[in-house]
Amino acid sequence: MYENYHDKEWGVPISDDRKLFEFLILELFQAGLSWYTILKKRKNFINAFDNFDCHKISVYDIKKIEKLLSDKEIIRNRLKIISTISNAKAFIKVQKNYGSFYRYLSEFKNKHSEPGEHLDPLNNFSPLAKNISDDLKKKGFKFLGPKIIYAYLMASGIINGHQTDCFRYIELKS
């Protein structure tokens, strides 16, 4: 499962906002857990969270929250579920202000990243991830820090996180 995800999906640049939202929420749920756990439950997350439609998620009510908290097929963490709803609302605002979330990320990367930007080995995130994380928090996003955003930027192909000796590094080099 890991190999298939790595070889076919991880790090492939995404411009579709629904998919970007999915990856963001999956990274949020992965915090403190293994990625294997998320991959195993991914289809269940897609079903439980209305195919990661941010507009539907943004209007989830207490009934829906309780339903999610009782769903044994997903991660049943109240804070992560409530943060997902809050993040859906903030995601929609970013889309309205920038035209799309992808455009926001692209503009942010173009304005704030430096060529050859590298991971901070002591903290497991990059300066770009820290800048985006700080900005997203100002925009109302919850449960997202620089480590989650760094993983998100690599998974969604905004930055190439493959090792230079990995066959995918060359294929995805932008």
* Least confident span in 67-71, 99-103, 106-110, 129-133: 106-110
Average pLDDT over residues 98-108: 94
Average pLDDT over residues 2-31: 92
> Residue 155 contacts by C-beta under 8 Å, 6 or more apart in sequence?
10, 11, 23, 27, 161
DSSP state string for 56-119: HHTT--HHHHHHHHT-TTS---HHHHHHHHHHHHHHHHHHHHHSSHHHHHHHHHHHH--TT---
> Residue 118 contacts by C-beta under 8 Å, 6 or more apart in sequence?
126
Neighbours of 79 (CB within 10 A): 11
Is the model's pTM score more than 0.75? Answer: yes
Pair of tokens at residue 93: 């605002």
Q: Tell me what pLDDT residue 47 has.
A: 98
Cα(10)–Cα(4) distance, rounded to whole angstroms?
9
Domain 10-172 in this protein, CATH class = mainly alpha
pLDDT tens-digit map of 20-69 = 999 999 999 999 999 999 999 999 999 999 999 999 999 999 999 999 99
Determine which helix (DSSP H) or strand (DSSP E) holds 13, and give its type and residue range. Answer: none
Residue 174 has pLDDT above 60, yes or no: no
Tell me the domain boundaries of the chain: 10-172
CA distances for 128 relative to 1, 45, 61, 69, angstroms:
29, 28, 34, 34
pLDDT tens-digit map of 128-167 = 889 999 999 999 999 999 999 999 999 998 888 778 888 8
Q: Tell me what pLDDT residue 5 has.
A: 85
Closest CA to 105 of 121, 89, 97, 116: 97
Q: Tell me what pLDDT residue 121 has.
A: 52
Contact 133, 127 (CB under 8 A): no
Q: Which residues are catalytic?
A: 5, 27, 35
